[in-house]
Amino acid sequence: MSARKHSHLQKFHLIEYILMLLRHLEIAKYIKNGQTLLDIGCGFNGHLLNRFSTHISHGIGIDLPVNQKKNSEKIQLIEWNLNNPSFPDLPKVDLATCLEVAEHVEDPLNLLKNIYQTLNDHGLLILTVPTWQEKPLAEFAAFKLKLLSAQEIADHKHYFSREEIIDCCHQAGFKNVKYSAHNFKMKNFVLARKN
């Protein structure tokens, strides 16, 4: 069970907000008009889904907790603990995002297997997780400098090497996994296709 009291980035530190915006800019090129999008760990208000709502046909966000008042005809936020062994009943989607979330769950492999099951046959997962190189810097920035949320960093249960995250994606069933290191090699950026 997560130690958090708020969903991912419900309360922002300035640097976290800037990093979130940079992640959104990075993934914008992968979001095609008319796609269905699932954002795992969407945060309390579903920022990513709302940012791209004019491009997608339907967006679903899952996290704990979520702001049910943000639900609309196009955006659905579902309150769900990502440590549950399975996802809620969801329709198949074209694209799933899991940005800075897998490090917070007890079983990242199970999370990736659940994501795999929600994607359509040619679906794409965009995944970002911290590398081991990030750990000392993030802890220093959070606990000593107070530039990042200490609660968020303390809740990190996992850090991943390039090999670990690629292997985890393959074990979850993804066939085509492309990897790149971002943010001075402190972030793993993965594009994983179902087929």
Whether residue 189 has pLDDT greater than 60: yes
Whether residue 134 has pLDDT greater than 50: yes
> In Å, what is the CA distance from 183 to each residue of 60, 113, 150, 187?
27, 27, 20, 6
**Helices (H), ranges, the chain:** 14-28, 47-51, 108-118, 134-139, 150-154, 162-172
- Check: CB of residue 49 under 8 Å from CB of residue 57: no
Dihedral angle computed from the Cα positions of residues 160, 163, 166 and 168, in that order, rounded to the nearest 10 degrees: -60
Whether residue 118 has pLDDT greater than 50: yes
Task: Tell the CATH superfamily of the 14-193 domain.
Answer: Vaccinia Virus protein VP39 (3.40.50.150)
Quickly state the pLDDT bin for 38 (edges 50, 70, 90): very high
What is the predicted pLDDT for the residue at 8?
47
Residue-wise pLDDT for 43-91, tens only, equals 999 999 999 999 999 999 999 999 988 888 899 999 999 999 999 999 9
Residue-wise pLDDT for 20-32, tens only, equals 788 888 899 999 9
Residue-wise pLDDT for 149-187, tens only, equals 899 999 999 999 999 999 999 999 999 999 998 877 788
- Check: CB of residue 46 under 8 Å from CB of residue 70: yes
The rounded mean pLDDT for the chain is: 91
> Which amino acid is located at 48 in the chain?
L
Task: Please tell me the pTM assigned to this model.
Answer: 0.90
Can you give the residue ranges of every domain in the chain? 14-193
* % of residues, the chain, pLDDT over 90: 77
Residue-wise pLDDT for 105-114, tens only, equals 999 999 999 9
